[in-house]
């Protein structure tokens, strides 16, 4: 039985370690299939995307993933050219998009939007980012990248640096890491520490320490996960300017890291990782983006096929 069939993907908290590992196994299978066999997985299926917020990697990753398994995509990437400009509600837009598709991928500025969409849609809904809450498929991609590049997740020392307050990728990653035995270091400016309303839940499953100084931890880390300080989520630009450029990972910092450590980033990158890092063996953020295509292809294949693939 395929437990993922017709399953909404709203929060990484809905997945157990065993379920995550099944997704990773399916992703490995996807990567090993020849192209003609891959294209049979979702042949004749349609993905609809509905993005109320700008995106490059996530939307194109879903689009590319669906094409690679034989399906097709349609949707709204710019709400300025849709009926939302006429005042159409999210509920009605979701219902209409569900009529045209087999699965709906939603990115929205408001917290709770994806869970609401799942309640009104009669097709499975995948959360591609809901406000400042979560980005579950990014977390699955991140965890798969760590496992693929480090051959394990349990036992690793993982540093997460940057905007931990507004970065929804951070929360999904922390919830996902709660399924594993890891040592997590959270590094951020004081004003960008993880939100207090989330700390209780995270601490139920995950031990972590908080710091403002990256150099206190850098030589001890197996994985450095860097996040962008998100200017667009600051209510006051003056507050953003105070923390802009707080951490920059360059070759000087890389020299202090373990030889086999890896550097990840959900992208887009602004100035928090120097381009000098890109050609080093430690930089894995472009591989991370590629793995995102494969993990999303696996998720779509599992969601849309009753007996899996």
233 catalytically annotated: no
Cα 150 from chain centre: 19
Question: What is the number of residues in the chain?
Answer: 309
**Residue pointed to by tokens 């408001």:** 110
Catalytic residue among 17, 29, 57, 205: 57
Q: Which of 7, 45, 59, 107 is catalytic?
A: 107
Give the active site residue among 38, 45, 135, 294: 135
Catalytic residue flag (residue 303): no
239 Cβ contact partners less than 8 Å away, ≥ 6 residues apart: 191
157 is catalytic: no
Tokens linked to 41 = 């997985």
The span from the CA of 135 to the CA of 142, in Å, is: 11
In the set 38, 45, 46, 58, the catalytic residue is: 58
Our answer to whether residue 57 is catalytic in this structure is yes
- Degrees, nearest 5: CA angle 148-55-63: 65
Helix (H) or strand (E) holding 276: none
- As a whole number of angstroms, the distance between CA 123 and CA 48 comes to 10
What is d(CA 96, CA 154) in angstroms, rounded to the nearest whole number? 43
Catalytic residue among 86, 151, 255, 281: 86
Residue ranges of the alpha helices (H) in the chain? 17-32, 35-38, 57-68, 90-99, 113-120, 136-150, 168-177, 196-203, 237-243, 251-254, 285-304
Q: Which residues pair with 187 in a beta bridge?
A: 161, 211
Active site residue 137: no
Q: Mind telling me the catalytic residues?
A: 57-58, 86, 107, 135
């Amino acid at each position: 039985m395929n437990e993922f069939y017709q399953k909404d993907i709203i929060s990484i908290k809905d997945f157990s370690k065993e379920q995550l590992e099944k997704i990773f196994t399916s992703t490995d299978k996807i990567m090993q299939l020849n192209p003609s066999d891959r294209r049979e997985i979702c042949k004749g299926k349609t993905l609809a995307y509905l993005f109320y917020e700008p995106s490059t990697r996530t939307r194109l990753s879903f689009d590319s993933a669906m094409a690679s398994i034989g399906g097709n995509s349609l949707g709204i990437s710019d709400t300025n050219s849709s009926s939302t400009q006429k005042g159409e509600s999210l509920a009605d837009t979701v219902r209409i998009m569900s009529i045209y598709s087999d699965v709906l991928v939603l990115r929205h500025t408001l917290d709770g939007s994806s869970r609401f969409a799942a309640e009104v849609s009669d097709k499975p809904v995948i959360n591609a980012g809901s406000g400042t809450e979560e980005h579950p498929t990014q977390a699955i991609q991140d965890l798969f990248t760590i496992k693929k590049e480090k051959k394990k997740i349990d036992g690793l020392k993982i540093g997460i640096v940057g905007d931990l307050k507004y970065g929804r990728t951070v929360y999904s990653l922390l919830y996902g890491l709660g399924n594993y035995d890891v040592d997590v270091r959270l590094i951020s400016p004081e004003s960008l520490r993880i939100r207090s309303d989330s700390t209780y839940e995270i601490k139920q499953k995950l031990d972590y320490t908080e710091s403002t100084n990256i150099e206190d931890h850098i030589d001890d880390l197996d994985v450095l996960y860097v996040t962008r300080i998100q200017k667009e989520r600051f209510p006051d630009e003056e507050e953003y300017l105070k923390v802009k450029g707080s951490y920059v990972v360059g070759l000087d910092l890389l020299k202090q890291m373990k030889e086999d450590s890896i550097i990840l980033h959900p992208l887009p990158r602004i100035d928090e990782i120097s381009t000098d890092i890109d050609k080093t063996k430690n930089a894995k953020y472009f591989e991370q983006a590629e793995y995102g295509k494969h993990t999303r292809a696996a998720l779509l294949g599992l969601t849309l096929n009753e007996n899996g693939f």
